[in-house]
Structure 1
């Protein structure tokens, strides 16, 4: 294991432990405030298509955000985890359009292909932390780094986090992809 990989592993462990200790009421309130900031952001207000994800466990919540985006007439595409760890995408048509999948995920039932993320005007991704320069730390599978590599330069790419996960020094490897912003209950930070 390389020193950078070991540093990432230790940081992920620390961040996941902190998330596990976060009260569910705080998770819910944070999700509401983060959704408000994103829905007010000019990039999201003018977007026709938003790529997002269905949060699980103590991840910053996305349920309210997904419903609000759909209610506002945005086309929302969500990831489908493929066996090789890459991401296909499908259309969100409300909570009933989602099916249980591996790893406790909920995924859309239709399939648009791995390149569908490139059609989004806004790409919202999960993460565990983001550096002051926009380098995102994910869970280590590389799924979102692959997806972000397909997104055209200039697209608003934003990681959803808790306040204390923004501005963290993140170890970086060559395959890691930066995001252009981070959204948390305190607001949106652009890089």
Structure 2
């Protein structure tokens, strides 16, 4: 048994190191994109996503504000508002999951955890909402909609809870095309998304 325990420990250690290296590599790559390219890619992403059935039919959309070179969904927010959709932003909970709070053109923002902007007084108004679509930031992804995040597990916990309660929320990761890898090294707790949207194309889970 000791030998097999050693093999399992080594396998887990190798997987952890592989994920760590991928995070370093692809966070650096997206941060290196110049502002004009970030802007152009964000517009292309919006143009592609607006034809996606999950976006078209969604009335309530959870999204995020970009940080650390993440692709910017602000054009998607503007389109959603113009179409009469409701937009929500994430707020971390003490259980290391997420709640989503309303976000409009007039929402005042403050700097929250990890330097990420969030709505002012979000802690008071963070209540469970009924979402149709959640747009998820990512560090890397593959063509079968596996996602590598920053490592905190916040989105995985929220999505796992949503699946257990059968809420039927569709989940799409948003990323630059350069963040695609052949296969994301997944852990047991990782949640496969319904799809990944990039400026070039949409990938869907198997």
TM-score if structure 1 supplies the norm length?
A: 0.89
Correspondent of 2:66 among 37, 55, 66: 55
1:186 and 2:200 correspond: yes
Correspondent of 1:169 among 164, 183, 194: 183
Structure 1 residue aligned with 2:18:
7
Structure 2 residue aligned with 1:157:
171
Distance of 1:17 and 1:55 partners within structure 2 = 15
Three-state SS of the structure 1 residue aligned to 2:90 is strand
Three-state SS of the structure 2 residue aligned to 1:150 is helix
TM alignment of 1:10-89, pairs within 5 A: 10-89=21-100
TM alignment of 1:106-145, pairs within 5 A: 106-109=117-120, 110=122, 111-113=125-127, 115-116=128-129, 119-145=130-156
Three-state SS of the structure 1 residue aligned to 2:50 is helix
Three-state SS of the structure 2 residue aligned to 1:33 is helix
Distance of 1:129 and 1:50 partners within structure 2 = 22
Contact 1:127 1:139 in 2 (8 A): yes
Q: CA deviation at 1:167?
A: 4.6
Q: CA deviation at 1:132?
A: 2.6
Larger Rg: 2
1:94 and 2:108 correspond: no
Three-state SS of the structure 1 residue aligned to 2:162 is coil
Number of matched residues? 188
Structure 2: gaps spanning 5 or more residues: 1-11
Contact 2:103 2:119 in 1 (8 A): yes
TM-score if structure 2 supplies the norm length?
A: 0.83
Counterparts in 2 of 1:129 and 1:168: CA distance versus 1, 3 Å: farther
Instruction: Describe the superposition over 1:73-130 as per-residue Cα deviations: whole angstroms up to 9, x where unpaired.
Output: 11111101235532121001125343322222111244333x43xx211111000111
Q: Which moved more, 1:8-17 or 1:98-107?
A: 98-107
Q: Alignment RMSD, CA only?
A: 1.9
Instruction: Describe the superposition over 1:129-166 as per-residue Cα deviations: whole angstroms up to 9, x where unpaired.
Output: 11232211000000111111133465321000111223
